Chain A
Amino acid sequence: MNRRIELDALLTVFLILLFSSTFLANIPTAFAQEVPKGSWVDEIVLFVEQDEAKVIDMLLKNEIQAYFRDITDPELFKTVKASPDLWYAISYGLYFDLTFNPSGPEFLTGKLNPFSVPRIREAMNYLVDRKYICDEIMAGMAVPKYTTLTPAFPDYARYAEIVKLIEKEYSYNFDKAKEIITEEMIKLDAELKDGKWYYKGELVALIFIVRVEDQRRAIGDYIASQLEKVGFTVDRQYKTSREAAPIWIRSNPAEGLWHLYTGGWIVQLISRDESDNFGYFYTSRGRADPLWQAYKPSPEFDEVAGKLWNREFTTIEERDRLMREALRLSMEDSVRIWLVNQIAPWPARKEISLAYDLSGGFSSARLYPYTIRYVNRVGGTVKAATSDLMVEPVNPVAGSNWVYDHVYYDPLGDPSAIPDPFTGLYWPQRVEKAEVYVLEGLPVGVTLDWVSLKFVGSIDVPTDAWYDWDAEKQEIIYASPGTTAKTKTVIYYDENLFKMKYHDGSKLSLADFVFSYILTFDMAKPESPVYDEAYLPSFEAFREYFKGFRIISKDPLIIEYYSDMVYLDAEYIAADAANAFDPVYAYGPAPWHTITIGWLAEANNELAFSSSKAAKINIEQANYIAGPALNILKKYLDKAISEKFIPYKNVLGNYISEAEALERYNNLKRLYEAKGHFLVGNGPVYLEKVDSINRIVVLRANREFPDPADKWLKFSEPMIPEVKVTLEPTILRGLPSEASVSITFKGQPYKVSDIQSVKYIIMTPTEVLVGSAEPIRDGLWRIIMEPEKTILLSSGTISVDVIAVSKLVGMPSMTAGSTTVMSISESLAGEMAKIKTDYETKISGLRSELTTTINTLSSKIDSLSITVNMLMGISVVTLIIAIAAIVLPLLRKK
């Protein structure tokens, strides 16, 4: 009995706990929580899992919340799409092409190379059905690609109308391809016998190098079969990247070891300027390899591509003209034809949200640590798998540049300016404002209001601006009189910049900037103990354009930056200046004291920052997070503490006191003892733990971070405009016509100020009309087609493509509507015909109504006559009866 009571009591307690825990678990979602400082979540755990199938299963089971790698298996993508618990971001970083060997028309072997003829290469555009590749081979994980411009990048939006024209012009047309190829092959003295091409009595056999690692194998098979259909014999050679590279890149094209190759290219950053693509992909400027040296574009194309490659344009309009020309000519050249742009899906659970980059997905988005969060709650742990981690040693000066390592060391830093994941433009993070001065005649524009742009006649670098570093005398070298620059940027940093703390508790200071400046030069000086010849090439490139650096105000920090580097966007120029010497280096965050211990180790030939120097003198490369380098770094930290070491004391002694240096070193030591690494930054998260054997990295929220977590919330999702066009049912040639364009995002009107342009394109067999829409109000735009435009249209049904480009997202949105075009006479004739038809219909209606009425009347009359006849019959009978009644009594009386 007692046991029963105990069991009942236990059960009751259990149930109470269960319900209360369920209730308590629901409380946080019911109430709005305070926005924390630093990252939204408490912890981000990254680990390695390369098996996509496992990853998707783990996502479905909520074992992990995001995958920091794109899925390549179409079946798994279907699972992701079908799951109510998952969502996915899309990026466009990878694309495939068909590269041709342009040598010929005969190789050194005497064999024919049809692809030496530009028209045959151009015809390949018609021979390949890109839509088929996207739908059937890539299972919907790709979009057709016709030009070198990437769909998600600003240049595609900028020239969307010409790209659209090209897409229509070069769409799949097998017959046209066959016709052109036949025509050109005959010109080459080739013969078509029994459906096969022969040259000098031998079959024209194309050596097709088909890559096997991905869908390019199937793409290669498809293209080979298309080539066979037009009479070529195809020798399919399936090869991996490694096997193919020596053949297509390094062999002499004239040797004829190959004819065509399924190429693949990747970009991991949104490029705001793709103008040099033409020089790179179509001319010998691109590379020194034998294949590139065999490129012989037409003089016209070469000139255009060359001007774009060398930025020989002074206005945006001139660049536009060159780009349009280059796009058209590149299709005629077609030394490579573009096939598809892969749609790379990055899956995550619906409970979480994070910014992603339209080029590099989750892992390349610089804003991911600032935005990753649970949608309905603050805090928590996000576990994310990735396909690799800790690929190479990590150190801020010359450490790993793998995206798999950027994914955990980038979040540790807090750069002065951060790239927009959807447009590539820079936003200020630790900068109040920037003034950019550019020489008149340079093609620079500005979009965001944190940067002001002014054009000036000349820019002189003041003689008190820092220009170089004397490693021997340990002095700063100032700009010599007469030094000029193409740009001058004044950066006004955040007034609270020097109140920020690093993860080890040290305060950020001007010394971090000055140290960064000196190190930039010192590593390139042979007299320096940290001289590294592997650093020279990139330094020399920097030296080409760097013209000066001047500190105007120490706190709040205001600097001037002089440079010959010119970008199309002033925001880029400003970001370049703001980030130049801030303590977030190319390979991680770096306060001066953490770099110093590596500096000491390198100066004593025990570690080297770069892998090249480490290999050359056969020592370990500096790794700030794991491995044998840690003990060496620890040794030099102790040395720095004991010596109260101040690097470059001659200069930095003015910015750092011995007490401050000691405090910083001790802070670092405490952090190392607690966390086991030396990687310190000032970002929204800090490095809590590294398990190098199991490749696990744990990042924790930095609650000392100055900004609230919602600062970058608007970048959680790209505001890709949703566009609808409503056209008039008929456009009369020679008369104005209007159409309305609705632009929304998730049902809400898209702000006019956030729209860069709304263009329309009308293509008829004879004319292509391009125009712009004008705003009416937020979410509503109007297209007015003037009479002089509509008069150019030919009669019939036309399609109107509308392209909206947002300032918030690099990717243009497109929609199409259709309507009918006719002339006024046709319209009048149509109206007359309509009226005639109308009247005929009406008359016919009346006629039938009348007939019906007559029929009704006649039937009524008929029924009435029957009644009358009956009545008459009855009357006759009645009369007879009456007569009989009268006559019979008379007869009886008689």
Chain B
Amino acid sequence: MIPKIIGYLFKRAFMLLITVVAAIYITILVANMGGYVDEIIKSEIYLLVSQSIRQNPAYRMLNETQIMRLINEIYTLEIEKIGFDKPFVYRSFIYLKDAISLNLGRALFLYSDSGSKSVRIIILERLPNTVLLFTTTQLILFFIGLFFGLFLSRRYGSLPDKISVLLSPLSSLPGWFYGIFLILIFASLFRSWFGVGLPYGGMVDPPPPTDKLLYALEVLKHMILPISSWLVAYSFINIYVRRTFFLMFSSEDYVELAKAKGLPESLIQRRYILRPTLPPIITDFSLTLIGSWMGAIITERVFNWPGIGSLFYAASMIFDTPVLVGLVVIYAYLLAVTVFTLELVYAILDPRIRAGGA
């Protein structure tokens, strides 16, 4: 029995590794547009170097040859600095090797908020902000979906159920869209009407409080609108999905039998509905949590939130391959580890997998 599970897990781990490697290399190729980005970046660097030299009064008296020499020397240094003196194919495998070994290396252009070029620091400085906002949001959404879904599945066709179904199309618009309206109402209009309002964005109001407690309260205040925007957008669809999910399970034969046996409602919910639905819920929960760590590009920009989403955007805009690869690597590894862990849990819990039926 155990060798079977080990064999199964080994196979899964191997497949996951291949998937991760392929995903990373594809990311490297896409982020560099197959090497075309080299041309773009070289053109830009040349343009910047020659412009900066031309506009520098210190070089006004240099003659034509001296200026050209200066431009070419600085350009060469800049190209060497970012490693673009080596061909793209060579660099692409260096990127891959570093990524797989989790040596995320140095960014091409971006710096961390504190001024470091280390991709690890760049990502780690942003990750807590994203976790704080989006993981919190996803947790709230998850539990809202879980509890209200369960609650409404037992009250199928009731008024709250109808209202919930009616409001579920709110999710057809993304959270950031509601965010803009929330900013307009609670930050702008409230200030016009009452002289006070919620923050326009950011994590704290400038100047930042020096007291840690006040700082934390400031951050909480700044989380209200972004979280609300996502709650407005996604709460009802979450409730609707969960409620439908539970409804399906509520009509299983064994649940009907339990009801017929006259078991208490809470027991039926806990033992006959929640327990068998736990694996997909946990899977969903795990993947949602990991997904939340990637942030949300537009929401972060709308609320000026310094998270992973805006980092991803900034890196994409300037073709900073190491940062893009770093973000993908971390996500891919987290995903692979989570999937593997779930496989492990299922293998232990699910008799079908245990028997090698998978």
Contacts and interface: CB of A to CB of B under 8 A. Distances in A.
B60 A273 contact: yes
Contact of A567 (B52, B57, B116): B57
Interface in B31-90: 36, 39-40, 42-44, 46-47, 50, 52, 54-55, 57-64, 66, 68, 70-74, 77-78, 80-82
Counting contact residues on chain B (CB < 8 A from A), the size range is 35 or more
Interface in B98-119: 106, 111-118
A623 B47 contact: no
Nearest to B50: A287
Contact of B111 (A392, A538, A564, A612): A392
Contacts of B81: 534, 611-612, 615-616
B333 interface: no
A34 interface: no
Contacts of A45: 206-207
Interface stretch (B147-155, B195-203, B281-289, B346-354): B195-203
Contact of A288 (B71, B73, B202): B71
Interface residues of A, number: 80
Given A250-B39, A694-B306, A394 B47 contact: no
B43 A250 contact: yes
Interface in B164-203: 183, 187-188, 191-192, 200-203
A626 B113 contact: yes
A189 interface: no
Contact of A249 (B46, B113, B121, B301): B46
A691 B77 contact: no
Contact of B77 (A311, A612, A693): A612
Interface in B286-314: 301-302, 304, 306
B208 interface: yes
A537 B66 CA distance: 10
Contacts of B71: 287-288
A50 B301 CA distance: 8
A114 to B, nearest CB: 26
Given A47-B202, A309-B64, A565-B60, A393 B191 contact: no
B115 A626 contact: yes
Contact of A58 (B42, B200, B208): B200
Contact of A393 (B73, B111, B129): B111
Contact of A246 (B43, B202, B210, B319): B43
Contact of B62 (A269, A544, A626): A544
A336 to B, nearest CB: 15
A350 interface: no
A245 interface: yes
A50 to B, nearest CB: 7
Interface in A488-543: 533-534, 536-538, 540-542
B125 interface: yes
A694 B199 CA distance: 14
Contacts of B42: 250
A253 to B, nearest CB: 14
B59 A693 contact: no
B183 to A, nearest CB: 7
A540 B70 contact: yes
A48 B106 contact: no
Given A249-B47, A250-B42, A614-B117, A696 B206 contact: yes
Contacts of A666: none
B204 interface: yes
A287 B54 CA distance: 10
Nearest to B44: A245
A351 interface: no
Contact of B183 (A54, A241, A534, A692): A54
A761 B116 CA distance: 58
Given A48-B304, A285-B64, A280 B54 contact: yes
A390 B125 CA distance: 14
Contacts of B208: 689, 691, 694, 696
Nearest to B125: A693
Contacts of A545: 61
Contacts of B36: 246
B135 to A, nearest CB: 17
A252 to B, nearest CB: 13
Contact of B204 (A534, A618, A691): A691
Nearest to A265: B51
Interface in A563-577: 564-567, 572
B207 A698 contact: yes
A63 interface: yes
A542 B61 CA distance: 10
B226 to A, nearest CB: 14
In the complex, the 7 A-B pairs of residues with the closest C-beta atoms, listed nearest first:
A627-B114, A623-B115, A393-B115, A245-B43, A47-B206, A626-B114, A537-B73
12 contacts: A49-B304, A242-B44, A249-B47, A268-B55, A311-B61, A381-B207, A540-B70, A541-B58, A565-B60, A612-B77, A629-B116, A694-B204
